[in-house]
Amino acid sequence: MARVEPGVAGATEKPPETQAPRQLVSLAMYRTLVLNATNDPLSVVSGRRGALLVLAEKADPVHESGDQLRSERCSLLVPSVIRLRYFVQVPFHGARAISRHGIFARDDFTCQYCGGKADSIDHVRPRSRGGGHTWDNVVAACRPCNTRKRDRLLSELSMRLRRSPSIPTRSTLLAAASTAVPEHWCLYLGVDRRRTA
């Protein structure tokens, strides 16, 4: 339920387009984690979109940021985590677009050859030798390992992967989608707090 000040008629019908510019700017800083009706993490949206979903009674706040959004007609706590009131069907293994940040998040920002801090991406089977830019062929790596490996196969070197690359979980990608993952999100995402690159 939206936190609407009592006695303010029509407050839930008014989207926060009437906010003063300063308040809209501050709302733009917020991000809202959206849970499916089943409590599974679904997506990350802007705080504004999260607030609108609550105002439209399409979602309930599960965790609030503690910051209040005010307009002439209503006020509500900006939701940090919301749960949809309806179920959204999610393809089991939908096409999860490969991204540099997603690769770092999946590999915990760790070089998959030496365990050091990763600052580059390596194609396990080099592209020049037919390797694809796919989740199961791309790993996070440090520059020295990347330079050492060059366009060779692991079988031609003494290098080994610490774990085989695979499609990351939706939770890992959601964590990667947000530059700063609030600590209380980890509970819903089922992930450890991630280090940033």
| Site mask for Zn ion (CB under 5 A), range 128-157, x = bound | --------------x--x------------
Q: Which residues pair with 46 in a beta bridge?
A: 31
Among 114, 167, 186, 197, binds Zn ion (CB under 5 A): 114
Looking at 55-63, 65-73, 116-124, 159-167, which segment touches Zn ion (CB under 5 A)? Answer: 116-124
Q: Is 190 in the site for Zn ion (CB under 5 A)?
A: no
Q: Which residues pair with 68 in a beta bridge?
A: 77
For residue 167, give the nearest of 130, 125, 138 by alpha carbon. 138
193: Cβ contacts below 8 Å, ≥ 6 apart = 181, 183, 186
Among 25, 100, 116, 133, binds Zn ion (CB under 5 A): 116
Q: Is 104 in the site for Zn ion (CB under 5 A)?
A: no
Helices within the chain (DSSP H only): 21-27, 47-55, 100-106, 143-149, 170-177, 183-189
- Shortest reach from residue 160's CB to Zn ion, in Å: 11
Positions in the binding site for Zn ion (CB under 5 A):
111, 113-114, 116, 142, 145
